[in-house]
Amino acid sequence: MNASTNLRIAAVSVNHNTSPYMELMVRSLFARHRADLPLALTIYDNASTDDSSALRAYAAQRDVPLLPSGFALDSEHNSHGDTLRRFVLEQADCSHYLFLDADVCFVEPNTLDRMLVELDTAPDAFGIGPLMSWDGITPLTPEYALTLTPHIYHSRLHPCCALVRNTPLFRSIVAEIGMSCANYLWADRAEYLDTFQLLTKVLRTHGLRHILSSSMVLHFFATSYEWDDEATRQHKMQRRDSLLAALRNQDNA
């Protein structure tokens, strides 16, 4: 890896009443990666009202700052992109940024090391994302994902687990247009651009693309907002709690 000697990853995630998911993400991040991976994680919290005591205890154990984002759970618009933008502009001293959703779980060893190597072999790529899985076993293929929504892989670098090179161009575009959602008003239609999607489009105009890794992560999808029916929500929470219990037991062994 050419950049390994100066490697420093600045990672960020946002908690939005997703404290058990966030604890699972952070525990899996440390459990599946080498101890000397030069990564510093910061968690921002949108004034969550769920029980975050276990998350806070584990974050303190790992020296992970858990800071107020300045936004509430009921902000007028999705505040995720605003928080990520501020983080990028405040964290200049890094080689890469890592954007993590609270509801991701690392299930394979050394996922980020593999993503770093794969990104390093693609000089025209500004960033890389993993394959996603609903169950942590079978990856969601790009072909099938396209039948669901292009937002998963194709039309943007999905911020659920996005590793991005820190370049002056990237920071300049983040400063100018941000990382938030947008409604683009064509003459005959409106196009919704999800978090990171407008940024992805602008980077393409500079000849830069995003790529997919051979690594896979478990992504629970849509846990920050109550979009699921009750049966789906319960299934996700049961899976989450099972994985979380296993990692807690592993740490306590």
pLDDT string in tens for the chain (253-residue length): 344 459 999 999 999 999 999 999 999 999 999 999 999 999 999 999 999 999 999 999 999 999 999 998 777 777 899 999 999 999 999 999 999 999 999 999 999 999 999 999 999 999 999 999 999 999 999 999 999 999 999 999 999 999 999 999 999 999 999 999 999 999 999 999 999 999 999 999 999 999 999 999 999 998 887 778 899 999 999 999 999 999 999 988 7
- Number of domains comprising the chain: 1
Q: What is the CATH number of the domain that holds 100?
A: 3.90.550.10
Task: Give 65-105 pLDDT, tens digit per residue.
Answer: 999 999 987 777 778 999 999 999 999 999 999 999 999 99
* Residue 160: DSSP 8-state: T
What is the C-alpha to C-alpha distance for residues 125 and 210, in angstroms, rounded to an integer?
Answer: 5
Which residue in this structure is represented by tokens 């936004």? Answer: 71
d(CA 10, CA 148): 31
Quote the domain boundaries for residue 222: 4-252
